[in-house]
Amino acid sequence: MTGVFDSLNVAGSGLLAHRKWLDAVSDNVSNLNTVTSTDEEAFRERFVVAQAVDYGSGEGGVRVASAEFGSGEGRPVYAPDHPLADAEGYVKYPDIDLGEQMTQMVMAQRGYQANIATVERATNAYQAALQLGKNA
């Protein structure tokens, strides 16, 4: 009977992985304009690394293997009036591309939606099977 709920387990693991991916993207976007002084590390872009569990078995799903971080080098911007500007008038912004983050967000959102659809379809199929059992 454990095989009956495998599709829910796989889709549930996908939901969790895509939610963590969306969390990382939202963190990156919300810190896009975080300013630091040039002697500090800039905000480091977050990445989520997903890994298949029991690949090929049909019952493993996916898990978040790790969270990785981009470079803290950032990009210097000339802003002499900013309170964090160095003697030459520069501050540091994260080196994050908003267009790339929007693309990542759409991909993660679509994956999340696909897993939700799988959960809904599996739930409907299981409910229909229960109704058949009641009428027998």
- Which pLDDT does position 58 carry in this prediction? 61
One digit per residue, the tens of pLDDT, for the chain of length 136 reads 455 577 888 888 999 999 999 999 999 999 999 999 999 999 999 999 999 888 777 667 888 999 999 999 999 999 999 999 999 999 999 999 999 999 999 999 999 999 999 889 888 888 888 888 676 5
- Which pLDDT does position 132 carry in this prediction? 81
- Which pLDDT does position 129 carry in this prediction? 81
Alpha carbons 30 and 48: distance in angstroms, whole number: 17
Q: Which structural domain range is residue 98 located in?
A: 2-135
- Which pLDDT does position 39 carry in this prediction? 95
Tally of domains in the chain: 1
Alpha carbons 27 and 48: distance in angstroms, whole number: 12
- Which pLDDT does position 1 carry in this prediction? 42
Contact present, 26 and 109 (Cβ < 8 Å): no
Contact present, 126 and 76 (Cβ < 8 Å): no
Contact present, 101 and 26 (Cβ < 8 Å): no
- Which pLDDT does position 72 carry in this prediction? 92
